Amino acid sequence: MPAPDEVVFDPDQVSAEWLGEVLVGAGEATGTLNGLDGVHIGAGKVGDNVRFTLDWSPAGSGPATVVGKFPSPDPMSRAAGAALGNYEREVRFYELLADTVAVRAPRCHLAHLDPATGDFVLILDDLAPAEVGDQITGCSVEEATAAVSELVALHAPRWGDPRLDDHRAWLGPRLVGGGQALADAWHMMLPGFLARYEGRIDPQAAAMATRFSESVGRWVDLSPGDPTVTHNDYRLDNILFGVDEDGTYAAVVDWQTVGTGPGIADVSYFIGAGLVPELRREVERDLVERYVTLLAATGIDTDPDDMWDAYRLTCPAGLVMAVFASTVVAPGERSDDMFLAMAERHALQMADLGVPAMLEAM
């Protein structure tokens, strides 16, 4: 994916000439791009996604649409994305890892990062007509089944692969920071999170978050199972769903949190946040068993009981993400509602699965 002579990091500065050069250079077009029209899409807070509709001459000599991803226009979110390494991880994923896993993700035509400024740009296939999920409303069992199945395509190819250490400089662990540093951050941020949502958050969820403070330090250092490539923010706002001849499928976007860790952590994170609690309680064991069965079909044998325990142990990650992320990105009505939904659902997941008692006994 060679970069053109000039790289554009602002969607408002993307010209037909520049984007045409990118797509022709990537072998995706043969004609001349006469014009384009950009529309912002998605609900991301750390990145800015734009769908470009393209006018080619001759007609059909290039893709009808592509998606560009750029740094957030909000200074607070942009600074967080650069400082936390989110922008670098996503660029490196497309450069170095995407072709080594089987997950359905958009094909990348340009991936470029400016190390000096932290600016980045991605030009990606448009996955329409697949549509992004809604983290606030939750998903159906069919969508959850497709999303969990797609995780096997991400995890299985690099399961226990020691060569992942070659990317350690940018491909961090599942819980970046690790150990006491992350636990200290939890204790610092939780009071502000609870104050921000006072009067809105479910009292049981607030109590669970407070109780978790007693064992967060022990939990941070747990990593049950063999490491693999993990998404680490595998939730509905980062998954697109479509229907083909085989039924409902899932495609995965937003690789800013990609790292390494136990694959079951992505499963627990998705199920806890993606399904409303009543539905989750009915189907979560079946979904975990499906994950284990599909892994076995790839030659990866795991003990179902051990995987269930690992599922329980990793489910606090969604609560941690909701608390941390809500403090480092710009506030907004939808994002506030999303973080609240995540926090409540994961806290109730922890309660249902007996996680605090499990951790306190360790």
Q: Where are the alpha helices (DSSP H) in the chain?
A: 16-25, 75-83, 86-92, 141-155, 179-196, 203-212, 216-220, 264-274, 277-297, 304-314, 316-328, 333-352, 355-360
Q: pLDDT for 191-244, tens place per residue?
A: 999 999 999 999 999 999 999 998 888 888 777 778 999 999 999 999 999 999
Cα–Cα dist 163/296, whole Å:
22
Find the range with the poorest average confidence among 23-27, 171-175, 281-285, 351-355. 171-175
Residue 68 near residue 147, CB atoms below 8 Å? no
pLDDT, position 337: 92
Domain boundaries, the chain: 11-125, 131-360
Cα–Cα dist 334/316, whole Å:
22
Give the position of tokens 């269930």: 308
The pair phi, psi for residue 277, each rounded to 5°, is -55, -40
Cα–Cα dist 202/313, whole Å:
22
pLDDT band at 4 (very low <50, low <70, confident <90, very high): low
C-alpha pair distances (Å), 324 with each of 186, 257, 340, 351: 8, 13, 12, 20
What's domain 11-125's architecture? 2-Layer Sandwich (3.30)
DSSP string across 181-240? HHHHHHHHHHHHHHHHTTTTS-HHHHHHHHHHTTTHHHHHT---S-EEEE-S--SGGGEE
pLDDT, position 234: 97
Cα–Cα dist 262/161, whole Å:
12
Cα–Cα dist 239/124, whole Å:
15
Q: pLDDT for 42-67, tens place per residue?
A: 766 678 899 999 999 999 999 999 99
pLDDT band at 75 (very low <50, low <70, confident <90, very high): confident
The CATH fold of domain 131-360: Aminoglycoside 3'-phosphotransferase; Chain: A, domain 2 (3.90.1200)
- DSSP annotation of 135 reads T
Identify the residue with better confidence: 100 or 44: 100
Average pLDDT over residues 137-153: 98
Q: pLDDT for 270-298, tens place per residue?
A: 999 999 999 999 999 999 999 999 999 99
